[in-house]
Amino acid sequence: MYAPRVFICMTGTLIVFAVATYFMTGSLYTAFIQTLICAVLIQAGYFAAVLYLVRREKQMRDAGVTSDAAATAKSPKDGSRRDGLRADTAPNLPAGDT
């Protein structure tokens, strides 16, 4: 999670929430209080998510697994994981509507 992007998105969300709350209640004070409560809940959720990511990374390091190996180990066996094909290899199928 990239922190500046999260804070910009959080600010945008809070502005939209504040405007919507003001139009629904008609009270600037109520909109401010509810927006403040929303900001605390969003920040608590962000903190919990970062805490989870750090904990998961620590568990993988303790187990000796790299993040690439963990990603391939978690992927399903239905062929959606990497199959050794290069990304720049285009298929030899005509591109057109049938």
Q: What is the mean pLDDT of the chain?
A: 80
Query: Could you tell me which of 7, 12, 48, 14 has the C-alpha nearest to residue 34?
Result: 14
Q: Is the pTM of this model over 0.75?
A: no
> In this predicted structure, what is the pLDDT of residue 29?
96
Neighbours of 31 (CB within 10 A): 19
Instruction: For residues 48-67, give the mean pLDDT.
Output: 86
DSSP states of 9-47 as a string?
HHHHHHHHHHHHHHHHH--HHHHHHHHHHHHHHHHHHHH
Neighbours of 35 (CB within 10 A): 20
For 6-57, write each residue's pLDDT tens digit.
889 989 999 999 999 999 999 999 999 999 999 999 999 989 998 999 999 8
